[in-house]
Amino acid sequence: MKKYRVTINGKTYEVEVEEIGGEERPVPTAAPVPAPKGEAAAEPKAEVPKAEPAPAPTKAPKKDAPAGKLTINAPMPGTIISIKAKAGSSVKKGDVIMILEAMKMENEILAPQDGTILSIEVSEGASVNTGDILAVME
């Protein structure tokens, strides 16, 4: 634990900060500035090092679609509760293909364009992860 005294808008606070790992870096501090005559000396202020950005999360690789075909992938993990379209059926852009339940909400999986459903890759009750192929269309 490290203790710091911080002054914000003229009010002084004492704070304790726990260091939780990583390499230890020296914390640069400002040198005390002599106060003008008749005033109390100013407390040095510690500079807080900036946090490094976290690495971007990596997603599981998606399966490739057959050449010239369009895959409809799961936008989030969940459970397929209803399949509205069948293989071989024609759909228009925006038609509901299936319902995916995620976090107790029903999410409609819509056709991204006009076309024909070539195959449905999941069944009702199946659990899916983000990026899993739900259907293939052309």
The conformation of residue 73, written as its DSSP 8-state character, comes to: E
pLDDT digits (tens, 9 = 90+) for 24-78: 566 555 555 565 666 555 555 555 555 555 554 444 434 555 566 899 999 999 9
**Beta-carbon neighbour count of residue 79 at 10 Å?**
14
Say whether pTM exceeds 0.75. no
CA distances from 5 to 11, 14, 33, 93, 117 (A): 10, 4, 16, 61, 65
Spatial distance between the Cα atoms of 97 and 114, rounded to a whole number of angstroms: 12
pLDDT digits (tens, 9 = 90+) for 81-135: 999 999 999 999 999 999 999 999 999 999 999 999 999 999 999 999 999 999 9
Characterize the bridge pairing of strands 11-17 and 127-128. Answer: unpaired
* H or E element in which residue 97 lies: strand 96-102
| Domain 70-137 top-level CATH class | mainly beta
Domain with CATH 2.40.50.100 in the chain: 70-137
